[in-house]
Structure 1
């Protein structure tokens, strides 16, 4: 219903504790046997949360094709800021060697906060929500590295699934709107659906993929279009 093509950037957005990381890690687990190299970047997460994710990868045999880059909540702001770029460099390495890669940034809200902390310590002029003026460039230069190479460059790809946390479902905040404008669509997770026991708590009505049906086979295209409409009408 929300198709993702190779080289696409699809945002996973929602409040805290709505299952964003679960959606991302399930995507990695489902790449088993597909020949896809996965990179999971944890930024500013609790050590226990990262350990739980790594344990799941080990139990499901996903560590055979997955690289984990982690800077915990107690890591310096500079390292939290650099972690996504480290993960992107690793994914690009395989992409330029004719491999398909998938990278998860969990999450870019924490990277933006680390960058804000660094900028304030450097006494740079604060802007909206105290973020520096170039915070949009911070994320655009990272996410624009996702690509699908042509045949001359080996046909490799790097697909990015960035995660952004919202406060009380407010997608109009500074960082969420920035990342939404950069990416090729978003998967919105609803706290109301999660609390109602619906998992994954994806709000189909406002989730979208700008690549759309171009990434689907004909049979899936016919089924998915009708199903998404019916789900959205049911939710209304």
Structure 2
């Protein structure tokens, strides 16, 4: 858009294009010029993001300066087929004895953590990240629809235990537009896939996907 905002084409019709606005939309007016970028949406990836807090567009929001990287990956990419995937044969230790003993998680596996409000779901996630220290694991924590103050507290906890040395935090706050909440899990996955395709192990935590579902319904 002519005022610097970006959007992602969602619907392509014969006479119009439906676009979801990513970021500031209050400055957009009827009659504004819109140009296509000629490429699908992508986010910056790579080692430079480790230890940083970014928004779903990969832009730093921690006040530590710009992120310098020449790598980027598309937000929406085709997932590897079943035949391309190895079977789960290596454990992913959470460091929580009850989980590791009763509901063991393997590297390459997805696991749903469900429970009522204030039952410790986020605590399990943060503790698991902290317990990956020295395990050759890159962690990506995607906070969706949380208060900025809550995310700030979690980042401070990760710093306290040295976990930010191997962690990327993607924050799509409750005050941000629905499109950013919608793309947050995809952005976090794209960042993780860069490490995966370079032979590294990655743990991605989405906290939580119910907020992303609400944002999707808004769109």
Please give the range of the TM-score, normalised by the shorter of the 2 chains.
0.5 to 0.7
The alpha-carbon deviation at position 90 of structure 1 amounts to 0.6
Equivalents in 1 of 2:127, 2:205: separation in Å? 11
Correspondent of 1:102 among 203, 206, 215: 203
Q: Tell me which residue corresponds to 1:43.
A: 144
The alpha-carbon deviation at position 15 of structure 1 amounts to 1.0
Correspondent of 2:166 among 48, 65, 76: 65
Equivalents in 2 of 1:39, 1:73: separation in Å? 19
Correspondent of 1:13 among 114, 117, 138: 114
TM-score (norm 2): 0.53
Equivalents in 2 of 1:19, 1:33: separation in Å? 24
Q: Tell me which residue corresponds to 2:48.
A: none
- Number of residue-to-residue matches in the alignment: 118
The alpha-carbon deviation at position 16 of structure 1 amounts to 1.0
Q: Tell me which residue corresponds to 2:216.
A: 115
Secondary structure class of the residue paired with 1:37: strand
Runs of at least 4 residues of structure 1 off by over 2 A? none
1:182-230 residue CA offsets vs partner (Å, 9 max, x unmatched):
xxxxxxxxxxxxxxxxxxxxxxxxxxxxxxxxxxxxxxxxxxxxxxxxx
Equivalents in 1 of 2:186, 2:105: separation in Å? 22
Q: Tell me which residue corresponds to 1:210.
A: none
Name which structure has the greater RCO, CA cutoff 8 Å, separation 6+. 1
What is the Cα-based RMSD across aligned positions, in Å? Answer: 0.5
Q: Tell me which residue corresponds to 2:190.
A: 89
> Which structure has more helix as a fraction of its residues?
1
Equivalents in 2 of 1:49, 1:20: separation in Å? 14
Where do residues 194-233 of structure 1 align in structure 2 (5 Å cutoff)? none
